[in-house]
Chains A and B, each alone.
Chain A
Amino acid sequence: MRKIHGGTGAAERAGEKAPLLLRLAAGMALLGIAMLFAMILAFALPAFLQPGPGGAFGWFWRPYQGEFGILPMLAGSLLLSCSALLLAWPLALAVCCWTLSAAPGLLRTGTRAGIRFMTAIPTVVYGFAAVFLLTPLIRAGLGGAGRCWLAASLMLSLLVLPTMALILEAGLKPRLDRLCLGGQALGLSKLEILWFLVLPQSRKTMLAALLLGFGRAAGDTLLPLMLAGNAPQLPGALTESLRTLTAHMALVTANEVGGAAYNSLFTAGALLLIINAVVSLLARRLAGRPGNLPGEQM
């Protein structure tokens, strides 16, 4: 550190000026978020307050009969993201453990590069490919329309898998590295160290990955819009159609300006915002706990 002091001095001096600008930037970002919340909540308020069967908290979306319930969409969002995580989270954990411990060199680099590459694939590509490749398979194999809960949930799990795998890797690798030498001296394999020593200490990392994955899954619009069928109903089976809050908003904003249907969109938006805010606050809290920082556990 001392040796490069001359170099960092200039940066430090520049850093003294930065706080004002930085604070301004941070303030503007915060203000933007606060305004977004205020706007959406203000618009959503009438729908929140309106009681009875015509309000936003009903089980039927039938605009022509004056029913604007968005509960089926809320349920759809939750069901879809949970089912996607049910598949993606164990898979992400397995992939992460494998690349960290057991995978032979070339395969490991390949898998890692592949996962990094997957984060860069736009969802519309997944959606498009699935419409032509996955839905016909589901239709032929399981019947139904093919565009269903299952199709959307499979593709969604593919979408959130790399995010979760990268978070897991970032959390587990430093701990594994630290325990590796001692563990191997005791005759444990890398996988055993990971399984018996690292994972039990990393519950928070694993939970944080789960929560961030959930946020990503619940917020995605294009995959459910293209693949889930979008019927405003509670699905009775994996092969049935469902509609998420995000897809609902995309479908209704296309045509409506004003009116009860339009207002209910703000309720949908407020719900999404609340869900994602809670999830990301939880994830940050977990990730920010001292016990979870690499280097501070034990």
Chain B
Amino acid sequence: MKTSLRIFIAGLALLLLGSLPALAAGTDDASAMFKGLKGNLDISGGTAHIPVMKAAAQSIMAVNPEIRITVAGGGSGVGVQQVGEGLVQIGNTGRALKDSEIEKYGLKTFAFAIDGVAIVVNPANPVSELGKDQLKKIFAGEIRNWKEVGGKDAPIILYVREDGSGTRETFEERALDKGQASDKSNVVNSNGAMKTAIGQDGNAIGYVGIGHLDATLKGVVLDGMVPSQENAKNGSYQVTRLLYMNTKGEPQGLTKAFISYIYSPAGSEFISGAGYLPTGAF
């Protein structure tokens, strides 16, 4: 009981701390863009989108008491299905829509963020470049010593993110080509925890959202692709995916305002805050 209460309070404190700057950043836009609008907006789909959607929803609802926005997960498939059937107004996907989906439901798609994932090691690790095959074998637990990939004679310590994490999804899809990491990998539950773990351990390897790359980590060059925000944007770094919002037909009213809000400077801030890069299109 005590422990759960503590976690609850800690969580609450973190939430408050986290949302303060977001609220401050978003309120001006939020009050102007949603003037005179009211009603409900339901959003579901990709889990990677949730932090951005929630931050935006909170800052909108804070200044517009007549607007209610709900954000649910479910995955890309659920997002497409629910928006197509009219259960939600915005269905999020972590992949481009298939032609069949666009035809069947008459969906319009809005790419708003690039989710790039950098493979990282401790800065003290001499290995700074890996091939995709080597990476796959490392995460499958087949290569277990750094000397097999040109490093020192030390065991490789694997770190991964928890099930359902968008970062993990992108990593496994784009870097491991839909492979999975070994059961023996250590699991951490945020980009921050990953940074701490890798920053401490000279033999560890893991991955973070590319927006979280800093001096405490070394981004590994993968098949010659250098992980950086610029490279993720211009397409030369490919462990990335786009995050999309989808609507049935041309968005109207509140839905339209929400999408424009995501593309506004305040929206960009939420996107960067979640560790993604704003596409800046629109």
Interface set of A (CB-CB < 8 Å, partner B): 60-64, 122-124, 131-132, 135-136, 139, 143-147, 219-222, 225-226, 229-233, 240-241, 243, 250-252, 254-258, 261
- Name B163's contact: one of A63, A231, A241, A258 (CB within 8 Å): A63
Point out the residues of chain B lying under 8 angstroms from A254, CB to CB.
162, 164-165, 189
Q: Give A131's nearest chain B residue, CB to CB.
A: B196
- Name A255's contact: one of B10, B47, B185, B196 (CB within 8 Å): B47
Q: Is the CB of B186 within 8 A of A230?
A: yes
Which of B1-9, B214-222, B239-247 sits within the interface? Answer: B1-9
What CA separation (Å) do A202 and B265 show in the bound complex? 68
What CA separation (Å) do A143 and B74 show in the bound complex? 40
Q: Is the CB of B197 within 8 A of A147?
A: yes
Interface centre among B3, B7, B10, B155 (most CB of A within 10 A): B3
What CA separation (Å) do A240 and B193 show in the bound complex? 19
What CA separation (Å) do A257 and B186 show in the bound complex? 23
What CA separation (Å) do A60 and B183 show in the bound complex? 9
Q: Is the CB of B164 within 8 A of A256?
A: yes
Point out the residues of chain B lying under 8 angstroms from A243, CB to CB.
187
Q: Give A241's nearest chain B residue, CB to CB.
A: B186
Point out the residues of chain B lying under 8 angstroms from A135, CB to CB.
200
Q: Given A63-B163, A221-B3, check contact A257 B187 (CB 8 Å).
A: no
What CA separation (Å) do A143 and B153 show in the bound complex? 13
B188 interface residue per 8 A CB criterion: yes
Q: Is the CB of B3 within 8 A of A144?
A: no
Q: Give A135's nearest chain B residue, CB to CB.
A: B200
What CA separation (Å) do A261 and B74 show in the bound complex? 12
B184 interface residue per 8 A CB criterion: yes
What CA separation (Å) do A225 and B165 show in the bound complex? 16
What CA separation (Å) do A237 and B34 show in the bound complex? 58
Q: Is the CB of B187 within 8 A of A229?
A: yes
B273 interface residue per 8 A CB criterion: no
Count A-B contacts at CB 8 Å. Answer: 87
New contact pairs (19) apart from A62-B183, A124-B7, CB-CB < 8 Å = A60-B183, A122-B10, A123-B3, A144-B155, A145-B186, A147-B186, A147-B197, A221-B3, A221-B4, A222-B3, A230-B186, A231-B187, A233-B184, A241-B184, A254-B162, A254-B164, A255-B47, A256-B164, A257-B73
Q: Is the CB of A136 within 8 A of B164?
A: no
Interface centre among A123, A219, A221, A251 (most CB of B within 10 A): A251
Q: Is the CB of A64 within 8 A of B180?
A: yes
Point out the residues of chain A lying under 8 angstroms from B183, CB to CB.
60-62, 231-233
B11 to chain A, nearest CB (A): 10
B55 interface residue per 8 A CB criterion: no
A63 to chain B, nearest CB (A): 5
- Name A251's contact: one of B3, B72, B73, B163 (CB within 8 Å): B163
Q: Is the CB of B74 within 8 A of A257?
A: yes
Q: Is the CB of A145 within 8 A of B157?
A: yes
A216 to chain B, nearest CB (A): 8
Q: Is the CB of B187 within 8 A of A255?
A: no
What CA separation (Å) do A252 and B188 show in the bound complex? 11
A262 to chain B, nearest CB (A): 9
Point out the residues of chain B lying under 8 angstroms from A123, CB to CB.
3, 6
What CA separation (Å) do A64 and B75 show in the bound complex? 13
Q: Is the CB of A124 within 8 A of B73?
A: no
Q: Give A229's nearest chain B residue, CB to CB.
A: B186
B198 to chain A, nearest CB (A): 11
Q: Is the CB of B204 within 8 A of A145?
A: yes
Q: Is the CB of B184 within 8 A of A231?
A: yes
What CA separation (Å) do A63 and B180 show in the bound complex? 10
Q: Give A228's nearest chain B residue, CB to CB.
A: B186
Point out the residues of chain B lying under 8 angstroms from A240, CB to CB.
184
What CA separation (Å) do A135 and B157 show in the bound complex? 13
Q: What are 11 contact pairs spanning A and B, CB under 8 A?
A: A61-B183, A64-B180, A122-B10, A123-B3, A123-B6, A136-B200, A139-B200, A250-B189, A251-B162, A255-B162, A261-B164
B28 interface residue per 8 A CB criterion: no
A210 to chain B, nearest CB (A): 19
Point out the residues of chain A lying under 8 angstroms from B74, CB to CB.
257-258
B201 interface residue per 8 A CB criterion: yes
Interface membership of chain B positions 21-47, coded 1 if the CB is closer than 8 angstroms to chain A and 0 otherwise = 000000000000000000000000001
B33 to chain A, nearest CB (A): 29
Q: Give A60's nearest chain B residue, CB to CB.
A: B183
What CA separation (Å) do A135 and B184 show in the bound complex? 18
Closest 8 CB pairs of A and B: A255-B164, A230-B187, A229-B186, A251-B162, A145-B157, A257-B73, A122-B6, A255-B47
